[in-house]
Structure 1
Amino acid sequence: MRITDIRHVSAPLASEMSNAFISFKTMTTNVVAVETDVVRDGERVTGYGFSSNGRYAQPGLLASRFLPRLHEADPASLLDETGENVDPQAVWRTLMANEKPGGHGERSFCIGALDMAVWDLHAKLAGKPLWTILSERYNGGRYDEAVLVYPGGGYYRADKDIEQLVAEMRGYRDAGYRICKMKVGGLSLADDLKRIEAAAEALGSGETLAVDANGRFALEEAIAFANAVEPFRLAWFEEPGDPLDYHLNAELVGHYPHAIATGENLFSHQDMNNLLRFGGLRPDVDWAQPDPSLCYGLTETLVMLDEAERLGWSRRRFLPHGGHQLGLNMAAGLQLGGTESYPGVFAPYGGFADDIPIVDGHVTLPRDQPGIGMELKPALMDEMRKRLELD
């Protein structure tokens, strides 16, 4: 088995919506494909990957820095002990060769997209769903038959009023979701409270509603917001302040008895360790939310989970951010607490396979689709293949 080509492109995620901090009008994402010389059913076995929303594509870094390292590597050094499959750990080490510690940021998104494609390829060559491989290799064969999922929604739009927000939340509930998430921090506290009250009523209770400030608040604002929403007993209050302001998190926990969630904008296991050590988060109450496609990939996220367990955190307190099928495979095979979904936004990259039903807030994964399962989303495959000129 040999890798014959690695294609990449910057693809648009353009949308008129926004969160409390950024607009998505000019947002892009990395899309990559790792092709091999293995042919099955008349097609080359290829792994696909992309970066999550919220960060811009970095085609220059991929072309000038990371892909040359793979092209220059001894092909055998990228394979596992059988010589018939790619070794994701070996590929990751090659990508990170000669990289100085620290400096986590733009490079982590490039490697995250490549790492997704390599794990997709690895599982396809093994002829197994990725969640099965994760279960067997990293979880003693254990897995979850059904995974808790929640939709990331409630974005701001210039033409979106409270009635439309309520309709959106009811649509998620009718689709089978039980916990739903909405954006906050983009309006005044009084206006956001009206939105929260309406969304909670639409869902049946505040306990089935999570809110996400996308790092908008300073400490005093975060405390004021937390005090205002405490009576709702929200499912969680997500990313109240800057992701690296561990002091803010620690202080806020002292003022807010309900769950805090954060971690999607941390890009290394060292960052996650610092959050869990110094961010005041409670391992029996709060949630950690790394995004595997942004934090150097599944390979790095596995290190995060191992080190979190040594710090006293259960994997059940981890909810992968990103709303994609990689997070879903991880949640099932590693028995995490659940995962995010994007059924209504960031199409076609968000959301799960077209025919996966949501039952009482949970989904089950297919057992007969090798890889991550992107082929079960025809619109996604059509978009990626078109962008990568694979047709």
Structure 2
Amino acid sequence: MPAGVFKESYEADMAIFRYPIHWAALILAVVAAVAAPFVIGKYYLNLLVVMMIFWIAAIGLNITLGLAGQISLAHAALMGIGAYTVANAALHLGVNSVAILPIAGLAAALLGIILSLPSFRLKEYYLAMASLAAQLILEYVYSRIDPDQYTPVPPETKTLLGISLTEPTALYYFILAITVVMALAAANIGRSSLGRAMKAVRDNDVASEAIGINVQLVKATAFAIGGFYAGVAGGLYAIYSSGIGWEGFTLVNSIELLGMVLIGGPGRVVWGSLLGVLVMRTGWTMMESTITPLLAGIGLSIIASSAKYIVLGFLIVAFIIAEPEGLIAVLRRVKEYFRLWPYSY
């Protein structure tokens, strides 16, 4: 920690917003978030909705991976559990999509606990392979459940207090409220005794067990919380979409979520995840609108179709080697430089 960064009380040390610039940024963000539907068009409003859904999912993976150190390549499959729970409950039972959302999160959390069982014995590469196998198994299950790759979500089930969530502005504010609540909950998880136990297990599970931490319980809890976030994100995606298909919850999507966490900042659950989502989603949109047509126009259609995956792989490798703490660490160093300028310490 750079010199000059110190706290004089426990309250100051535990505060989420610590400096005047934090409060200024908060006020600006609140104003921008509330005014967004009246300033931007429906296209960009839909982009914001999708970003918030992926932010929730990325937060869940960051809890599992960044806080507890348990790698998972099945996070998109957990999103699928939430999405199919909402879609099928709405389609076959006529249940309100919003009412079933907590059940979707709990279903994914239960599956997360099952996926945590290999982590009791396996670590790192071997755990990644076990989660990869789980992802592929769940993809197969989804393909059997939904062979047409489309399960409609009846629009009449998408209501909240009599307000239809098929209207873009209402849907935006609803998902914004859910995102804020879950982001605040995740921030407090990282600062709690559970969060500290997760960090201890991440750093050294043998030493953690020696000081009395129930390592298996911490790992299972990390997978459960990450699964709950993924399930809620999947449920929100079902509410956002007119219908869902299992092609949205494949291994490629799990790797994209992993890239969001690694690029944004593993362990920085809220802001690192947000930064990763912003970089990835805006980057994909820009590539699909500019670089992909350009490559296709000069006869490189094969490269054009896989350009974003090439870039994703390069970014993941680059950040793991050069900046393992992610972009959030770069921004923190820049912030501290200007805060302490003109002093070099």
TM-score (norm 1): 0.25
Higher fraction of strand? 1
Greater helix fraction, Structure 1 or Structure 2: 2
Q: Which has the higher contact order (CA 8 A, sep 6+)?
A: 2
